[in-house]
Structure formats: C-alpha cells, structure tokens
C-alpha cells in the first residue's frame, strides 16, 4: 500500500520569506502525487499535481513542487509567502492510480508578520 510522510507537523516562517514543506512517499511503479491546502473551516483545495512529465510542477498561488524519484520526495516550495498562505497543507498519493487518495498527516504553515 502507498504511504506518505510529511516530515514537519508545523512550519513557522516570516512573511515574504521562502518556505519548503517536505513530503516523502513510498515507492511504487507508478506514482501520482498531489498537494492540497486546507484553510480554516473549509474543505481541501488542489494546489498542484504530478502525474507524469516534467519533474517541476507549478501550481496555484505561486507554489511549485519538485518530483524526485531517487529521493522519493515531492517537496512543496514558495519563494515568498504571504499572511494569506497560513493554512494546513497535505501531501497525497493516488493509490495505484485509483480515485483513492492516501494523505500525509499535514503540515501547519504559520506566517508571522
């Protein structure tokens, strides 16, 4: 079975600083990876996804992620964060390509002014 590990449960950063949220997945023949964001009292919103092709994936709100097969990682980055990026971020893998996502435990990103 697929699994995902988010290495940091909380990440505090200052506004306009860069941020990296780390995600490692269990290896598999085919890997489909996603990052979702959850704002307080809301559902999940897709930030970006890797299905195939270029290992650098660009998403919404200035986020990007790099798929690294040798490191089995899919870290999320943003060069300059804003207060509005305060939220919980979830890395997820599709279980064998099915419409069944396996999520990491989440990383709470806190932006300090």
Could you list the residues that contact another protein (CB under 8 A)? 30, 32, 36, 41-46, 49, 51, 90, 92, 94-95, 97-106
Q: Which two tokens stand for residue 47?
A: 């930030």
> Please, what's the largest Cα pairwise distance for the chain?
43
Q: 41 vs 54, which CB is nearer to another protein? A: 41
Q: 80: which residues sit within 8 A by CB, 6+ positions away? A: 16, 17, 18, 62
Q: 81 vs 91, which CB is nearer to another protein? A: 91
Q: 7 vs 15, which CB is nearer to another protein? A: 7
In whole angstroms, how close is the CB of 31 to another protein at the nearest point?
A: 9
In whole angstroms, how close is the CB of 58 to another protein at the nearest point?
A: 15
Q: 34 vs 81, which CB is nearer to another protein? A: 34
The 10 Å Cβ neighbour count of residue 77 is: 15
- Residue 22's SS3 state is coil
DSSP state of 91: E
- Alpha-carbon distance of 94 to 32, in angstroms, equals 5
In whole angstroms, how close is the CB of 25 to another protein at the nearest point?
A: 14
In whole angstroms, how close is the CB of 104 to another protein at the nearest point?
A: 8
């Amino acid at each position: 079975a697929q699994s995902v590990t988010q290495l940091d449960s909380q990440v505090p950063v200052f506004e306009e600083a860069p941020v990296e949220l780390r995600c490692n997945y269990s290896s598999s023949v085919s890997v489909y990876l996603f990052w979702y964001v959850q704002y307080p009292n809301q559902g999940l919103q897709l930030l970006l996804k890797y299905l195939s092709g270029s290992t650098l994936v660009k998403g919404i709100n200035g986020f990007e992620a790099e798929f690294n097969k040798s490191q089995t990682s899919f870290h999320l980055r943003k060069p300059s964060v804003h207060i509005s990026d305060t939220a919980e971020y979830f890395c997820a893998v599709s279980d064998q390509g099915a419409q069944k996502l396996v999520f990491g435990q989440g990383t709470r990103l806190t932006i300090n002014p």
